[in-house]
Structure 1
Amino acid sequence: MTRCYLPGRTKMRWLKAFILCLLALCVLLLLHHYKVLYHRLMVRELKASGNFKALRFLWTLPTGTHFLETGESHQDQVNMETDWGDQQPDEANGIPRTLPDPEGPSGELHKRSFRLGDDPTPYFVRTKSGASCFREGTKMDSPQLGDRGHEARMGGRKTLHAHQEETKGRSDLGKRPVQCVCRPGWHGPNCGIPTMVQHSNLPTKGRLVPRKVPRRVVNAININHEFDLLHARFHELADVVDLFLVCESNFTAYGGAKPLHFLHLLLNGTYNYVRHKLLYVFLDHFPQGGQQNGWIADDYLRTFLTQNGMSRVKGARPDDVFLIDDADEIPAREGVLFLKLYDGWTEPVSVHMRKSLYGFFWKQPGTLDILSACTVAMLFSVYKGDGISLRRREYYNMPGFRTYENRTGQMLLKWSIGSPVHYAGWHCSWCFRPDGIYYKLVSAQNGDFPRWGDYAEKRDLNYIKKLIQTGGWFDGTVGMYPSTDLKEPMFAPKYILKNFQRYKYLLQNPYF
């Protein structure tokens, strides 16, 4: 008897075979990406343990300065002079227009180098129950921590900088892994993952492990006259950032001459509490074409800051963190500390920042997602040591992108600390008193049009006060702002909230 197959059944079989082939292809692709990610994480763990000598690099910067090899550890730092000596003040305002006498006790600040040393802070503690817990994120009074938890509370010295023994936990399949007891806002088996990372789009959360030796963090900033926000940054980040590169120019972004305000404050002792972590970068020229095209001047500030500043940093390792911000962008401490203490995250890294205008009382919708961090290795291999290239998002089109991926065995997957509802920092735009806004108007670059400083009525202080009062913009529009409360999470940096009277003009609308 001859069997007859209906055409519909034949089509169905072909369709099933096609779907099975597609599923097999997807599985193969997933396995390939998992293999690459796993290899990358193993490379980082080996590199952190100091047993993978093949990953040592010798970085040569354009100026001829060399980074030392990864295996070297340095505790010494630049000895900043305690006596700044006599300055040559400008007769009008007492602010120096030139750098200190090279032969004086201050030395040539803009030519000094800085040697990075390892951070000796005991971030993790080994408990009696065998867990490696992050001190700040762990409930040290929990009964699960035992006697060593008590030692940790009392400042005991039985600590380690290291990671949890995950491999040992995997080998003892019959035993339940020891967990730390986390405080609110902290997550993970070691209680070292902050909420802003836990609720981020990081694709490798399951592979995060604490490092044996913390990375060193270099934070680069250009400064004009954002000095109140600079104090807030230093107090927010000083205990986790190992070096601040602060660049100042004697030219405005428009090309006009200006005094060196930051240098004046540095010399009179204003920043003594953090000067052992400061490296002064002096830009003494205005870029060619910067007056005709203001974006040239704007980009050049970050290029010079990175290339000049990093050429004077000694002892940097390839896996150290480079972080570049504008002066009005302050990343939260917890996110930067995570980058410092953990292996397993991908790069480059951006930060979701709470957006504010004129003060933290005018909260703008959404977040500002700023691409601002990567390793030192990526900075020089992909971005060629140029900070402005990091701020852009076209890293995958850069010539060194594939080479860096292949050499390190990693996939470059950009991710963001925080999310649109979990802030990881603050962007406070035009956050000055009226005279500070006036100064920003007349100093602005010749590229972000309309250039409101060119209009006399926009420079009027009474008009500026009205803008602050209403939250309006120079084009006559008024934004829609949600209600805010000083007590809401991430309203403003902690230092600003603790010094309410000093920063009252940023915390409460002064013209209501």
Structure 2
Amino acid sequence: MGRSHMSVRIRIRRHKVFLLCLLGICVISFLHYYKALHNISLLQELSSSSTHLKTLKMFSGIFWSFTASDFPSQQDLYKHSYLKARTYSNVILPDPPDGKLHERTFVLHDDSTPFFIHTKSGALCFREGTDMAASTSHRRLLQHHKKKNSSKDDTINAGEKVVQCPCRQGWHGPHCGIPTVVYHSNLPSKLKVTPRKVPRRVINAININHEFDLLHARFHELADAVDVFLVCESNFTAYGQSRPLYFRHMILNGTFDYIKHKILYIFLDHFPDGGHADGWIADDYLRTYLTKNGMSRVQGLKADDVFLIDDADEIPARDGILFLKLYDGWTEPVGIHMRKSLYGFYWRQFGTLNILSACTVDMLFKVYKGDGILLRRRTYYSLSGFREYENSSGRILIPWAIGSPIHYAGWHCSWCFKPEGIYYKLISAQNGDFPRWGDYGEKRDIRYIKGLIRTGGWFDGSVPNYPPTDPKEHMYAPKYILDNYKKYQYLLENPYAKEKH
């Protein structure tokens, strides 16, 4: 009887253990499924009225494979990821059959675009900057002038004076290829520059976090001036927390198909030593890795190609970069005067942001040792290779800047996000540049952030008196953003201007 009782107890214990294990597996599966739903932003599908077919599709997507359309939109990213500030595991989309994105190389080729043309009068003119209708009447005047001059020498001299291109507004010089932002710059040799027979190739390097609207604006602004965009993304924020590879997904799901042929994707898969304690180490390392990894994968470089490095919220105007591409005779390094804005283009700050942003590939490697962060600093003259490079080039290296304090040559739109995007920027910021406002709970409050956008105030409580702006003013915002006014209205008009305190 005792033995029978004992065997029953053992069987009951075994059943309990089995049931507990089964329950544990169910809980773990549910949590894994719940996390996956959050990660691909499908909770809305569950909460909305959906058909059984949608639910079936949702389950199959989770347990089998993720397609490009499953990746969350930018709005979903703001709603689920930025607001909740949690760490999500990456939804990995497979690399294309032709190789891993972050291991590809890019081969530079000469740009065969006919930027300049020879007119019938014999002048070499920049197509875009020349008034072709005026050129015809100009040619008639030249022919009349030739008839009046009998001496051959006189005709040549007269021709040298008369055979010039009639320029459209905004373009200057005998070839009509010098844009206003260069004509009014402090470039000493601006009246002596000459068109190149073969354009330089331009390499634009950028780090990206979540500035995707500004990234679209950059690509459209510089599409025909830049030959390759080096875009670096990390699976860590500048603060050292893990983050999904949003940009990688957008490349693979077709978001950037219009410019994909000019993108070289760079993946930073580690956080630098010391970056947690000193945020400036992390901030510098992003640009160092971007340059060194990116340039090592670009093939066919020439010494006089242009290297241009920006932050994601700094967008150079196309005309100034095109000038660097098409002309000889400018010196280096090159800065860019940018219009300064906060939260949106409607809060224009006084003055310009002048950042050293460009140099030749030759200078990048011989002076800056291939490190983009050194270009951003203004200590080039103290670097070991500066004098040697200056002597070998036979030129006096004088820094200059495209544009001027009153002639904008680009846009710096700082903190230009919707409130949820500003929240994410706060928590992603490096552990430096103190006070780090993301460490203060009240500063992360969405209602507080909306108040800052409404007034143009700053996190320290100050409210500067910004000058009034109008979307119709010159250089208000990049053309692509203005052309898509409704889509980017939150950057062009203050969305909270009419709200009361």
Aligned residues of 2:69 and 2:253 also touching (Cα < 8 A):
no
Matched residues in 1 for 2:489 and 2:69: separation?
34
Equivalent residue in structure 2 for 1:363, among 348, 353, 371: 348
Q: Which residue of 2 aligns with 1:395?
A: 380
Query: How do 1:37-436 and structure 2 match up within 5 A?
Result: 97=90, 101=94, 105=97, 107-142=99-134, 143-144=136-137, 146=139, 172-173=156-157, 175-177=159-161, 178-436=163-421
The verdict on how the C-alpha distance between 1:170 and 1:397 changes in structure 2, with shifts beyond 3 A counting, is farther
Aligned residues of 2:68 and 2:253 also touching (Cα < 8 A):
no
- Partner SS for 1:229: helix
Equivalent residue in structure 2 for 1:478, among 458, 463, 469: 463
The verdict on how the C-alpha distance between 1:88 and 1:188 changes in structure 2, with shifts beyond 3 A counting, is closer
Aligned residues of 1:100 and 1:106 also touching (Cα < 8 A):
no
- Partner SS for 1:288: coil
Whose radius of gyration is greater, 1 or 2?
Answer: 2
Equivalent residue in structure 1 for 2:439, among 454, 457, 468: 454
Q: Which amino acid aligns with 2:326?
A: L
Q: How many residues align?
A: 407
Aligned residues of 2:68 and 2:249 also touching (Cα < 8 A):
no
Matched residues in 2 for 1:476 and 1:174: separation?
65
Q: Which residue of 2 aligns with 1:495?
A: 480
Matched residues in 2 for 1:487 and 1:263: separation?
35
The verdict on how the C-alpha distance between 1:204 and 1:96 changes in structure 2, with shifts beyond 3 A counting, is farther
Q: Which amino acid aligns with 1:355?
A: K
Matched residues in 1 for 2:159 and 2:176: separation?
20
What is the CA-CA distance between 1:175 and the residue it aligns to? 4.0
Matched residues in 2 for 1:459 and 1:205: separation?
48
Structure 2: gaps (5+ residues) = 1-65, 73-79, 82-87, 141-152
What is the CA-CA distance between 1:408 and the residue it aligns to? 1.1
What is the CA-CA distance between 1:134 and the residue it aligns to? 0.4
Q: Deviations over 1:182-229 (max 9, x none)?
A: 000000000000000000000111220000000000000000000000
TM superposition score normalised by structure 1: 0.76
Q: Deviations over 1:440-498 (max 9, x none)?
A: 00000001100000000000000000000000000000111001111110000000001
Q: Deviations over 1:68-126 (max 9, x none)?
A: xxxxxxxxxxxxxxxxx968989998x98376556x61521101000001111110110
The verdict on how the C-alpha distance between 1:128 and 1:365 changes in structure 2, with shifts beyond 3 A counting, is same
What is the CA-CA distance between 1:239 and the residue it aligns to? 1.2
Matched residues in 1 for 2:217 and 2:211: separation?
10
What is the CA-CA distance between 1:172 and the residue it aligns to? 3.9
TM superposition score normalised by structure 2: 0.78
Aligned residues of 1:254 and 1:294 also touching (Cα < 8 A):
yes
What is the CA RMSD across the aligned residues, in angstroms?
2.3
Matched residues in 1 for 2:478 and 2:191: separation?
30
- Partner SS for 2:413: strand
Aligned residues of 1:87 and 1:96 also touching (Cα < 8 A):
no
Q: Which residue of 2 aligns with 1:53?
A: none
Q: Deviations over 1:252-286 (max 9, x none)?
A: 00000000010111110000000000000000000
Aligned residues of 1:88 and 1:96 also touching (Cα < 8 A):
no
Matched residues in 2 for 1:129 and 1:222: separation?
47
Aligned residues of 2:336 and 2:354 also touching (Cα < 8 A):
yes
What is the CA-CA distance between 1:370 and the residue it aligns to? 0.9
Matched residues in 1 for 2:194 and 2:402: separation?
17
- Partner SS for 1:282: strand
Q: Deviations over 1:44-66 (max 9, x none)?
A: xxxxxxxxxxxxxxxxxxxxxxx
Matched residues in 2 for 1:220 and 1:96: separation?
27
Aligned residues of 1:96 and 1:260 also touching (Cα < 8 A):
no
Q: Which amino acid aligns with 2:394?
A: G
Aligned residues of 1:319 and 1:376 also touching (Cα < 8 A):
yes
- Partner SS for 1:351: strand
Percent of pairs with identical residues: 68
